Amino acid sequence: MGGNALACPDPWPIVPAYPRIPITYAGFYFQPGAHPMTRKHIPLLASLLALAIHANPAQAADDGRDCTRQAPISFVEMQTPNLVFNASGQIVANGLLTLKGKLRLPSDCRERHGQGRLPAVLILHGSSGVDARGDFHAEALNAAGFATLEVDMWEARGVGTGAARPALPALTYADAFTALRFLSARSDIDPARIGVLGFSWGAVISMAAATQNVATAVGGPLRFKAHAANYPICYAAWQYWTT
């Protein structure tokens, strides 16, 4: 899917500024052990994403979907920039990586509004990699009428454990916008209604993607409609890339 690859400046620009979170940002922070994410929280999370993604809150509350079966899963691939530090400490694109993902489309959703194009949520894993949290949230979002795409940022880089992860989340920011480009190009997805949900490492990416400097530098004209961050390491969002 080379057509979904991003055009990467070399080196990537470094723009010093402080974080500016657009109004579409929806953040969630849970201290370990203090606010465990339980099944009763998932409908709330899906509803909040729905309110952010839908322009009309009334439509979000009753958007005409009736999803009763488990969404079928497709395994997809796309090309994402391999971001590395050069000798000067700047982030540069060094070729492409194959980013794999798990796409779920709620095929039995019946839409009464629009042209039948589904809203979607990108799911970004934490330092431990893809785990049951992604499936847990994807199933709830699918039941609410959202397509979901969970990508594996570690497999693309040959990372087996969190200890071998990239030096900074900034080196994986491009993955989110590669996935956004992939979803936006699909005829069954509404490009104006795509959100991103991250956990820990992925939550940092979700936060950073909500800032104008990162979004412009990494995604060009692409923007997510809504952002959700589950227990992010907040300072990491502006390490190196002081967004």
Q: 3-state secondary structure string, 161-191? A: CHHHCCCCHHHHHHHHHHHHHHHHCCCCEEE
pLDDT band at 109 (very low <50, low <70, confident <90, very high): low
Crossing angle of helices 132-143 and 41-53, in 10° steps, is 60
For residue 106, what are the domain limits? 2-238
- In-domain check, residue 243: no
The CATH number of the domain holding residue 200 is: 3.40.50
70-102 confidence digits (pLDDT tens) = 788 899 999 999 999 999 888 899 999 999 999
**Domains held by the chain: number:** 1
117-139 confidence digits (pLDDT tens) = 899 999 999 888 888 888 999 99
3-58 confidence digits (pLDDT tens) = 333 333 333 333 333 333 332 333 333 333 333 444 455 555 555 565 556 544 44
- In-domain check, residue 187: yes
Q: What's the sign of the alpha-carbon dihedral 44, 40, 195, 170?
A: positive
- In-domain check, residue 221: yes
* Length of the chain in terms of residues written: 243
**What does the alpha-carbon distance between residue 129 and residue 115 come to, in Å, rounded to a whole number?**
35
* β-pair partners for 197: 123, 228
Question: What beta strand segments (E) does 105-157 contain?
Answer: 118-124, 147-152
